[in-house]
């Protein structure tokens, strides 16, 4: 594939970063539409998205710098190459930082928490689809060996894929990034269609958690596990799950909990149709008449 999208003189523009950035822009535009559907202030949702994005990027890069601090003291120029490094642990830390920042801003700005989460769900699924396409181009999160007779295998030949992501060269691999991208795209379409329908506030967010967890869990079956196990946990579970699959199980359980709790929340349509209580004054006047 093509880890480098194009060159500007001696500057390389990585495919992963460029495609992912485009996906983020698409998600931001979609979020303006979904905000209006659930009656959330689009301006505040834009601010929340930007702040959460920077928080996620900063947390992931700080962790990477901390983990390689000794090497970087000897080779400071390596700092510019950190953007090429991708690992599930970095993604997890970034996601937690972004979610924490989003929750803080929602509380600070008095945004309705459930409706805000609903508005963010379809754009986030779309952004993850683009992120996986970027990973496909870069060779990041590559699949397992598919064998020479596999019809739609992907073969990487660019040395930068091996340097940046450890991708095996000249080997037919499962295009697991395509599987994941299609799963996230289907999830984004489903949530987009469901959003304006009669629902309880928070249902779309719960469906996103469960859908994303299912997509991650099953696509990991065809993804190479090298370097993806959580330290110490793989041996405890005898290699039954890798790190992303454990995170996927947590997402599914969280989504189920959100949907279960939402059963206690009245539907917006039902609340709108509920008759207003009559005032005591009106009742008394009718009785006197």
How far, in Å, CA of 13 to CA of 3, rounded?
A: 9
- Report the alpha-carbon distance of residue 102 to residue 55 in Å, rounded: 9
Query: How would residue 281 be classed by pLDDT, with cut points 50, 70 and 90?
Result: very low
Name the pTM for this structure: 0.81
Reported confidence tier of residue 181, pLDDT bands at 50, 70, 90: very high
Q: What is the mean pLDDT of residues 201-214?
A: 93
pLDDT over 60 (residue 273): no
Give the mean model confidence (pLDDT) for residues 193-217: 90
pLDDT at 264: 62
Nearest Cα to Cα of residue 113 among 127, 99, 128, 92: 99
Burial class, 267, CB count within 10 angstroms (exposed 0-12 / middle 13-18 / buried 19+): middle
Residues 3 and 159: their CA atoms lie apart, in Å, by 9
Which of the listed ranges 46-50, 263-267, 269-273 does the model predict with the highest average pLDDT?
46-50
pLDDT at 270: 38
d(CA 161, CA 138): 6
Indicate the SS3 state at residue 232: coil
Could you write out the DSSP letters of every residue in 47-78? HHHHHHHHHHHHHHHHHHHHHTHHHHHH-GGG
Question: How does residue 75 score in pLDDT terms, banded at 50, 70 and 90?
Answer: low
For the ranges 198-202, 217-221, 229-233, the lowest mean pLDDT is seen at 229-233
Write out pLDDT tens, residues 18-45: 898 999 999 999 999 999 999 999 999 9
* CA–CA separation, 135 and 141 (whole Å): 7
Q: Find, among 173, 87, 179, the residue nearest to 132 by Cα.
A: 179
Displacement of CA 105 from its chain's centroid (Å): 18
């Amino acid at each position: 594939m093509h880890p480098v999208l194009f060159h500007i003189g001696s500057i390389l523009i990585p495919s992963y970063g460029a495609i992912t950035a485009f996906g983020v822009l698409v998600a931001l535009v979609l979020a303006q539409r979904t905000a209006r559907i659930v009656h959330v202030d689009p301006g505040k949702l834009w601010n929340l998205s930007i702040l959460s994005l920077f928080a996620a990027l900063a947390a992931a890069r700080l962790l990477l710098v901390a983990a390689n601090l000794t090497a970087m003291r000897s080779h400071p120029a390596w700092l510019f190459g950190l953007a090429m490094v991708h690992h599930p642990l970095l993604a997890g830390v970034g996601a937690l930082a972004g979610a924490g920042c989003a929750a803080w801003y929602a509380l600070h700005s008095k945004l309705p928490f459930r409706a805000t989460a609903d508005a963010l769900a379809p754009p986030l699924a779309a952004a993850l689809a683009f992120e996986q396409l970027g990973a496909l181009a870069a060779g990041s999160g590559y699949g397992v060996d598919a064998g020479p007779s596999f019809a739609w295998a992907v073969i990487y030949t660019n040395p930068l894929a091996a340097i940046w992501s450890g991708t095996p060269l000249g080997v037919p691999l499962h295009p697991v990034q395509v599987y994941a991208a299609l799963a996230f795209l289907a999830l984004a379409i489903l949530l987009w269609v469901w959003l304006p329908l009669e629902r309880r506030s928070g249902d779309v967010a719960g469906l996103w958690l469960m859908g994303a967890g299912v997509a991650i869990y099953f696509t990991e079956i065809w993804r190479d596990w090298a370097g993806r196990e959580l330290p110490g946990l793989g041996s405890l579970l005898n290699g039954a799950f890798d790190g992303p699959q454990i995170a996927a199980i947590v997402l599914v359980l969280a989504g189920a909990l959100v949907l279960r709790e939402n059963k206690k929340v009245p539907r917006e349509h039902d609340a709108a149709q509920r008759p207003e209580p009559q005032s005591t004054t009106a009742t008394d006047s009718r009785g006197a008449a």
